[in-house]
Structure 1
Amino acid sequence: MTVQNLVSSDYSVEISGLEKRYNPQRGGEGSRGIEDVSFTVPSGEFLTLLGPSGCGKTTTLRCLAGLETADRGEISMNGRPVFSAAARRDVSPDARPIAMVPQSYGIWPHMKVFDNAAFPLRHGRTTYPRDETRKRVLAMLEQVGLTEYADRWATQLSGGQQQRLALARALLCEPEVLLLDEPLSNLDAKLRAQLRAELRSFQQQFGVTTIYVTHDQGEALAMSDTIVVMNRGRIEQIGTPNEIYDSPASRFVADFVGSANLIPGVTQTAVGSGDRVVDAKTAVGVVRCERFTAPPVLPTAGQELSVCVRPENIRVTAGVPDTETANRFTARIVSSEYLGDRQEVVVAVGDTELRAHASAHLGARPGDEVTVVLDPEWTIALWS
Structure 2
Amino acid sequence: MSFSPQIKIAATYMRGGTSKGIFFKLDDLPKAAQVAGEIRDQILLRVMGSPDPYQKQIDGMGGASSSTSKTVIISKSTQPDHDVDYLFGQVSIDQAFVDWSGNCGNLTAAVGAFAINNHLIDAHRIPQNGCCTVRIWQKNIAKTIVAHIPICNGQVQETGDFELDGVTFPTAEIAIEFLDPAAADQDGSTLFPTGNVIDTLDIPDVGNLQVTLINVGIPTIFLNAEDLDYQGTESQEEINQDLNALARFELIRAHAALKMGLIQHLDQAKNRQHTPKIAFVSPSKTYVSSSGKTIKAEHIDLLVRALSMGKLHHAMMGTAAVAIGTAAAIPGTLVNLAAGGQPRTIVHFGHPSGTLKVGAEAIQNAQGQWQVKKVMMSRSARILMEGWVRIPFEDVGLLGVNHNDNLNELH
TM-score range (shorter-chain normalised) is under 0.3
Q: Which has the higher helix share?
A: 1
- Per the normalisation by structure 2, the TM-score is 0.22
Which of 1 and 2 has greater Rg?
1
- Per the normalisation by structure 1, the TM-score is 0.23
Higher RCO by CA contacts (8 Å cutoff, separation 6 or greater): 2
